[in-house]
Amino acid sequence: MKKLLATLAFCATAAAPAFAADCATTVEANDMMQFNTKSITVPKACKSFSVTLKHVGKMPKTAMGHNLVVTTAADMTAVNADGMKAGAASDFVKKDDARVIAHTKVIGGGESATIEIPVAKIATGTDYSFFCSFPGHAGIMKGSLKLGA
């Protein structure tokens, strides 16, 4: 039993620094209209969770622009449709859209953009989505985001 407790204590200590450093992630987007991940887990211990979108392609943002928008899974389709109407000047996100938890601007190849997600806005048991609202992209460029342990 003593040995087991010692092992558990060691694991807890070893995990702590990594946990603290996990309040950030990077999502890559490319010229093939793809994100390099389908899911993001936000650690409950973070106050703010930082997501950096990195466009690793070469195409300009007018042709293959990408952004990263976070909403509930339920709001995604409507937010995406309103974003398309809002147009490129608004980074394909309707102005002051309360359904949008966070979003980056639209970027082109070689660029990157970072957003901060207030973790208090992410509820346990609710499914969230991250997606690219550049017209025609959300069908492929989407993934799920949820609150983790």
User: Applying CB under 5 A, which residues contact Co ion?
Assistant: 66, 132, 134, 137, 141
List, edge to edge, every strand of the sheet that includes 69-72. 39-42, 142-147, 128-131, 69-72, 102-103
CB of 95 to Co ion, least distance (A): 20
CB of 140 to Co ion, least distance (A): 8
Which position's Cβ is nearest Co ion? 132
CB closer to Co ion out of 141 and 145? 141
**Angle in degrees, CA 37, 17, 52, rounded to 5:** 30
Which residue type, as a one-letter code, is found at position 107?
I
Look up residue 57 and give its two tokens: 């392609």
CB of 139 to Co ion, least distance (A): 10
Instruction: Round to whole Å and give the CA distance between 80 and 9.
Output: 46
CB closer to Co ion out of 54 and 66? 66
CB closer to Co ion out of 106 and 122? 106
